[in-house]
Structure 1
Amino acid sequence: MSVIADPLPAWVYESKQGPVIGAVTLFSVLAIAAVILRFKCRLLVRAGLAIDDWLILAALPVALAEAICVAYTTKDTLGRHIQVVSAPALLEGGKMFFTIQILWIISSAIVKLSILAFYLRVFSILDYIRFSAWFLIVMVTCWLIGSTVAHGLQCQPVAKIWQDSLPGHCLDTESLFLIGSIADVVMDFLILALPLPAIIRLQMPLSRKLELVVIFALGGLTCVLSLVRFLEAKDSIYDRSDITWKSWFPLIWGVAEPCLGTLCACLPILQPLMQGLKEGVTKLSSSATTFIPNNNKNFNGAQHSWKPKLSHRDRGVEIPTSSEVNLQEVPSSRHWDSEASCVI
């Protein structure tokens, strides 16, 4: 009895469904946690909500919708080689890819606008930041509108975007991708660099200044993600022979960019929470040092015990006890230099 050999090699049946779902779930959880903690911090300090808070809140569901679409597409299309993807699944996957593109544009733009609105609130008295921020707001808004319209109407009829066999015509998708992605990377780097000169000139302790620089510089993660997404997606744009397989990695980075951008946008607002944790650890450590182990047994043979350190008053030296020591407090995150009134 002869055995019919499978005409396709084993590697054709590979699937990246697990890594894709795991990655987008992780990025989504980080974004959700960052936004929740942001609003909790605003309530803790009894500060009213500002436009940057509402913008980041608006960006979250759009970013989550993109993550859900990417995860759903792995069911039959994304992360599989095109040889094993059925025609109906390929058609549905094309529609989902189109939706993911639009959601990525909207979520990324809203995150950028939230960061710029935060700059306007914190550094409002600095003319160069105010003018630059408004210029970038106009730039991001134009990019949002132009990219959404261009991607939404790149083919006539629109259905030709996911069904190439239909009669009609399409724009040059390669050029459209290059223009939109390069503009996205450039805007991210400009937004990252905008507040750094002002932070460096703040009159505050060097350690505090370095903390702020690090927090704002973490926004560079978004720049790296947008650049990686551009480089990874370039191959799938120019070579669509196995697009369902080649797209899984770029789409992960496409989810990471708005989700981790949301996290980076929330970090400066989380300073009261981080400062509280830092002060709590400092006081706990200070309290722990007031106790030392007593390695001597008593006359009854009792086991080792922990006892408070003997007061120096017993030796004729008057010094304050641990309860009287006024610990040096870390500069509050509410008080900035006169150039930047308040982070939150």
Structure 2
Amino acid sequence: MVQRTADVSQTAQIIIWFLFVVSVFSVGAGLGTKYALLRRFARDDWLMLLALVMYLAQCITISLAASQGIGKDMDTLSDDAINGFLKAEYASVPFQILSFGLVKWSIAIFIEYLTPDDFHLHVDLGIRVVVALWLVSGIFSGLFQCALPTPWNYLDGARCIDRRAWWTYVGALNIITEVAIIVLYLLVLWNLRTSRARKTMVISIFLTRAFVIAAAIAQLVVFYKAYSDPNVTRSMWLPVILNQVVICVSILTACLPFLKPFMENLHSGIVRVENVVADSQEELSHGRTGSTLLTLSDFTNSAACSHPSNRSTDRSTI
């Protein structure tokens, strides 16, 4: 039994860093393609890079938790190892929530580039505000989940908030904001002035955000099952790994809209950078006057990666 739980700890380390590497390649491919086309990074790109940095910090803390005995029985661990596990898990909380929030902000800014419609922009701003409030409340309550001077020690439940209620709040707001992002995607993309096949392809790419919702729901379900087990170092390994899956899927699906041009160039063996003309940028950002009908004449090609960041007025706020 001891050997089997030791294997779980080692497997957790492998999964943690494998998922991070997948995220690094996703961000690198997406942003690399966009930079090759535009020769600059927009604000949503910088936010995505910052989200990746937060994810790295979260991976380091969770990796430390795994090294202290995640997946092992508590009675086989020293008090120092248990305390190290609790501290590392506690330190991962703000980085995890920040990773989620920064990815959502990056997507919201990208959506602003896609539409001039005032209603869409108001909904987009509302999503950013809700995400900001969620970040502040989730991080603050997570950092003070237990009484000082040991806010990381939730084994003494009498001195802590209800962790199940806290995780439900964090997970539920994560899911709700993802649903709002998907709905806004559909509102913006539904009336594209393009062929039905191309419209379906474009919408299906953006709808991959639904995988984030599925992963977040799975994490909550597993956490609820593990919560009642007092042997936390053994029972919490799967919820912790699913947290990593949710972050990885969130970053991956946020980058997917920009991976197709990269894969097309790779497949064809073409190492060529096309200049993005002003007309393509205008097609991506401007629709008919008084309408939400966008003129994405060729979203699947270079215009898919262009940002109209040269607008005369800057209406974006995080």
* Residue 269 (structure 1) aligned to one of 258, 271, 276: 258
Other structure's SS at 2:244 match: helix
Match of 1:119 among 76, 96, 111: 111
Q: Say whether residues 1:196 and 2:212 are aligned partners.
A: no
Q: Distance in 1 between matches of 2:141 and 2:259?
A: 37
CA 1:135–1:60: 2 relative to 1, 3 Å: same
Task: Give the Cα–Cα distance (whole angstroms) in 2 for the partners of residues 225 and 213 of structure 1.
Answer: 20
Inter-partner Cα distance in structure 2 for 1:208 and 1:47: 27
Q: Which has the larger radius of gyration?
A: 1
Render the CA deviation track for 1:34-60: whole Å, top value 9, x for unaligned. Answer: 121222212221253211101000000
Match of 2:122 in 1: 131
Match of residue 134, structure 2, among 140, 143, 146: 143
Q: 1:243 to 1:55 in 2, by over 3 A?
A: same
Aligned residue for 2:90, secondary structure, equals: helix
Higher helix fraction: Structure 1 or Structure 2?
Answer: 2
Deviation at 1:69, TM superposition (A): 2.1
**Higher mean C-alpha displacement, 154-163 vs 20-29:** 154-163
RMSD: 2.6
Counterpart of 2:242 in structure 1 is 253
1:265 match: secondary structure:
helix
Give the C-alpha shift of residue 139 in structure 1: 0.2
- Report what 1:98 is aligned to: 90
Q: How does 1:319-334 map to 2 (within 5 A)?
A: none
CA distance in structure 2 between the partners assigned to 1:163 and 1:57 by the alignment: 32
| 1:176, distance to aligned residue in structure 2 (A) | 1.9
Paired residues of 2:100 and 2:247 also in contact (CA < 8 A): yes
Q: Is residue 11 of structure 2 the alignment partner of residue 22 of structure 1? A: no
Gap regions ≥5 residues in structure 1: 1-9, 283-332
The one-letter code matched in structure 1 to 2:215 is L
Q: Which has the higher contact order (CA 8 A, sep 6+)?
A: 2
Distance 1:191 1:217 in 2: 10
The residue number in structure 2 matching 1:300 is none
State whether structure 2 residue 26 is matched by structure 1 residue 37: no
**Alignment-mate amino acid for residue 176 of structure 1:** W
**SS of alignment partner, residue 223 of structure 1:** helix
| 8 Å CA contact retained: 2:2, 2:72 | no
Match of 1:173 in 2: 163
2:139 counterpart letter in structure 1 = T
User: Which secondary structure state, in structure 1, belongs to the residue aligned with residue 67 of structure 2?
Assistant: coil
Distance change in 2, residues 1:158/1:175 (3 Å): farther
For normalisation by structure 1, the TM-score amounts to 0.75
Partner of 1:219: helix, strand, or coil?
helix
Q: Measure, in 1, the Cα distance between the counterparts of 2:182 and 2:13.
A: 29
Verify the 8 A CA contact 1:232 1:249 in the aligned structure 2: yes
The equivalences for 1:270-289 within 5 A come to 270-277=259-266, 280=268
1:173 deviation in Å? 2.4
Equivalent-residue separation in structure 1 for 2:126 and 2:261 (angstroms): 30
- Counterpart CA distance in 1 for 2:100 and 2:242 is 12
SS in structure 1 of the partner of residue 214 of structure 2: helix
Q: CA deviation at 1:133?
A: 0.9
Relative to 1, partners in 2 of residues 1:11 and 1:340: Cα closer, same or farther, differing over 3 Å? farther
Q: Is residue 43 of structure 2 the alignment partner of residue 51 of structure 1?
A: yes
Contact map agreement 1:196 1:213 (CA 8 A) in 2: yes
Q: Compared with structure 1, are the counterparts of its residues 281 and 37 closer, same or farther at alpha carbon in structure 2 (3 Å cutoff)?
A: closer
Give the unaligned 5+ runs of structure 2. Answer: 271-279, 288-293, 297-302, 307-318
Q: Match of 1:159, SS?
A: coil
The two structures have a TM-score, normalised by structure 2, of 0.80
Q: Deviation at 1:83?
A: 2.1
Distance 1:96 1:241, change over 3 A: same
Question: How many residues align structurally?
Answer: 282
Matches of 1:242 and 1:214 in 2, distance apart?
A: 42
Cα deviation code 1:107-164 (max 9, x no counterpart): 11111111111111122x1223211110010000000000111111122214143275
Q: Is the 8 A contact 1:30 1:260 kept in 2?
A: no
Query: Cα–Cα, structure 1 residues 206 and 190, in superposed 2: closer, same or farther, change >3 Å?
Result: same
Please name the residue that 2:314 is paired with.
Answer: none
Q: Is the CA contact 1:59–1:107 (under 8 Å) kept in the aligned structure 2?
A: yes
Counterparts of 1:46 and 1:241 in 2: how far apart (Å)?
53
Cross-structure match for 1:107: 99
Give the structure 1 partner of residue 145 of structure 2. 154
- Amino acid paired to 1:122: L
1:244-281 superposed Cα distances (whole Å, 9 cap, x missing partner): 11111111111122222111111212343234346x38
Deviation at 1:13, TM superposition (A): 5.5
